[in-house]
């Protein structure tokens, strides 16, 4: 990632290795190579690279993965705080949107 | 585009189209008129005529992309959901799924040059693949219902659809398979890698599966970010313009006209710097949090203008004013850079929440002290 790494020890990614069936789906969908296959099982090899997009959890057929998915966007968090809602990119008003 | 079978395809040179609302999506909505000839022909299938699209982007397509980058009509930059054909596809040709943001669609068709295939555009309300996946509109349910609506199972004899990998946060591949019978294959992240992906037998290399954030990736985002929030520095500029007229004798119009442009101009310049400098220097700025990186960029900009002021004494008037601009520059650069997390490709929600808890109070405090000093500078 050309030297770009975000804050360490913050992500909510949880993984229960015992449930893994070796389908490799998490390795395929992760855009930051958080997972590696070792002995036909996925392992979390780079946890701090996780951006909590939720692709792995959504595509794990064994429910071995969980993460609080969300967009790491300060603007969305500010809008959410001001409106008293969840982080919101302001897409409802169709003016500006990520 | 490859050769067309004249018996299967009618020319569409007249530019006329069948009525809208057709399930196979024959028309384009938004600012793109049907006469734009994105559709170069039609192909006859068992579910009716399907438009054939060009794999070359025309000048008008490039103008459209440029406008979207500047935030002009971006939410209307859409393609009608439904099936499209590329080249001369058969029932065995691959199916690519795309968002109905026209830029997503354009990049996909451009990379399908020489690949006879189908494109299934799903309704993401004009949002790009990754953002729509995050919101769930590029999602499992939409794909399942679009397969049914478009009659894809009658158009192709196989049961595979190729999705962009960045659609995965919204799509559960095993659920799509369960409910529609179609197997989801995640293709590469960048559409430019599709030819290599096809050649490798629908296999993406680890390199194709990783998202980056290169200088080019970052720079293309600047115009939209700059324009999207421009109203805030504009309001601040108007406020400071008026404020600059305040002083001994309460308010002087002459004083305002004399000093106002400087104060208004400064805040606009700082805003522009804040949108460009941290973005360019991102990998080289100290710290991991975007607010820290932004503050460093602001420090650098302030240092440079300080050097300039050294050679042009009196440009800031007095020392409280100079100190005020220094602090305001730090706060604005830090804040704007923090908001760039949303445009970045690698920040997590948990991380952004953590950095904001620390950064926002400091930014507000710094800006407040800056404003007090600015008013002090105006009054003395």
Most confident residue range from A73-82, B87-96, B237-246: B87-96
> Which H/E stretch holds residue B85?
strand B82-86
Closest residue in chain A to residue B189, using alpha carbons only? A31
Q: What value does the mean pLDDT take over residues B113-135?
A: 95
Q: Name the residue with higher pLDDT: B173 or B76.
A: B173
3-class DSSP assignment, residue B208 = helix
In this predicted complex, what is the ipTM? 0.92
Residue B3, CA distances (Å) to B115, B156, B340 in order: 11, 20, 45
**A44 touches A31 (CB < 8 A):** no
- Residue B22: pLDDT band (50, 70, 90) is very low
- In tens, the pLDDT along A51-80 reads 999 999 999 999 999 999 988 889 889 988
Q: Name the residue with higher pLDDT: B317 or B219.
A: B219
Task: Give the distance from residue A59's alpha carbon to the nearest chain B alpha carbon, in angstroms.
Answer: 5
- In the predicted structure, residue A95 carries a pLDDT above the cut 80: no
The token pair that represents B295 in the structure block: 């503050």
Window B:297-336, CB contacts with A under 8 Å: none
Do A32 and B346 lie within an 8 Å CB cutoff? yes
Provide the pLDDT for residue B252: 82
The token pair that represents B185 in the structure block: 């294959």
Q: Closest to A25 (Cβ–Cβ): which among B173, B343, B344?
A: B173
Question: How many CB atoms within 10 Å of residue B304?
Answer: 12
> Which H/E stretch holds residue B107?
helix B102-111
**CA-closest candidate to residue B50, choices B107, B99, B95:** B95
- In the predicted structure, residue B314 carries a pLDDT above the cut 80: no
> Which residues pair with residue B78 across a beta bridge?
B101
Task: Give the distance from residue A15's alpha carbon to the nearest chain B alpha carbon, in angstroms.
Answer: 17
Round to whole Å and give the CA distance between B205 and B318. Answer: 60
Residue partners of B358: CB distance under 8 A and separation at least 6: B289, B291
Q: What are phi and psi of B23, to 5 degrees?
A: -65, -25
The token pair that represents B226 in the structure block: 């700059």
**B294 touches B274 (CB < 8 A):** yes
- Residue B25: pLDDT band (50, 70, 90) is very low
- Read off the DSSP letter of residue B191: G
Round to whole Å and give the CA distance between B219 and B239. Answer: 30
b/e code A45-65 from CB counts within 10 Å (16+ = b): eeebbbbbbbbbbbbbeeebb
Round to whole Å and give the CA distance between B376 and B324. Answer: 9
Mean pLDDT lowest among A2-6, B112-116, B210-214, B289-293? A2-6
- Residue B13: pLDDT band (50, 70, 90) is very low
User: pTM, whole model, 2 decimals?
Assistant: 0.87
Q: Closest to A75 (Cβ–Cβ): which among B71, B342, B355?
A: B342
- In tens, the pLDDT along A10-47 reads 999 999 999 999 999 999 999 999 999 999 999 999 99
């Amino acid at each position: 990632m050309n030297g770009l790494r975000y804050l360490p020890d913050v992500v909510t990614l949880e993984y229960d290795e015992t449930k893994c069936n070796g389908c490799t789906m998490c390795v395929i969908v992760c855009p930051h190579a958080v997972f590696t296959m070792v002995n036909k099982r996925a392992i979390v090899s780079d946890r701090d690279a996780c951006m909590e997009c939720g692709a792995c959890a959504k595509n794990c057929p064994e429910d071995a993965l969980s993460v609080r998915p969300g967009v790491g966007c300060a603007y969305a968090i500010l809008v959410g705080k001001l409106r008293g809602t969840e982080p919101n990119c302001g897409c409802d008003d169709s003016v500006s949107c990520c | 585009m490859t050769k067309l079978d004249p018996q299967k395809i009618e020319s569409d040179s007249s530019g006329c189209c069948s009525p809208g609302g057709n399930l196979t999506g024959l028309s384009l909505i938004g600012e793109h008129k049907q006469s734009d000839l994105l559709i170069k022909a039609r192909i006859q299938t068992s579910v009716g005529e399907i438009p054939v699209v060009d794999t070359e982007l025309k000048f008008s397509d490039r103008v459209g992309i440029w406008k979207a980058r500047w935030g002009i009509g971006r939410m209307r930059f859409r393609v009608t959901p439904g099936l499209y054909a590329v080249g001369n596809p058969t029932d065995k040709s691959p199916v690519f799924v795309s968002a109905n943001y026209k830029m997503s669609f354009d990049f996909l068709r451009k990379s399908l040059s020489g690949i006879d295939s189908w494109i299934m555009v799903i309704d993401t309300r004009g949002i790009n693949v990754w953002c729509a996946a995050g919101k769930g509109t590029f999602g499992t349910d939409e794909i399942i219902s679009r397969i049914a609506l478009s009659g894809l199972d009658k158009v192709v004899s196989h049961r595979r659809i190729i999705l962009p990998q960045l659609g995965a946060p919204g799509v559960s591949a095993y659920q799509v398979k369960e409910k529609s019978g179609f197997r989801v294959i995640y293709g590469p992240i960048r559409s430019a890698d599709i030819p290599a992906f096809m050649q490798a037998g629908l296999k993406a290399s680890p390199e194709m599966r990783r998202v980056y954030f290169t200088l080019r990736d970052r720079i293309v985002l600047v115009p939209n970010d700059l324009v999207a929030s421009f109203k805030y520095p504009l309001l601040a500029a108007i406020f400071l313009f008026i404020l600059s007229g305040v002083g001994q004798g309460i308010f002087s119009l002459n004083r305002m006209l004399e000093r106002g442009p400087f104060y208004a101009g400064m805040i606009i310049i700082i805003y522009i710097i804040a949108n460009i400098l941290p973005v360019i220097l991102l990998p080289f700025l100290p710290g991991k949090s975007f607010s820290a990186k932004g503050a460093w960029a602001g420090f650098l900009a302030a240092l440079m203008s300080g050097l300039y002021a050294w050679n042009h004494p009196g440009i800031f008037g007095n020392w409280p004013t100079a100190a005020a601009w220094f602090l305001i520059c730090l706060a604005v650069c830090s804040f704007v850079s923090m908001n760039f997390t949303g445009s970045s490709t690698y920040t997590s929600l948990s991380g952004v929440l953590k950095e904001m808890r620390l950064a926002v109070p400091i930014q507000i405090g710094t800006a407040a002290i800056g404003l007090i000093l600015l008013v002090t500078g105006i009054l003395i």
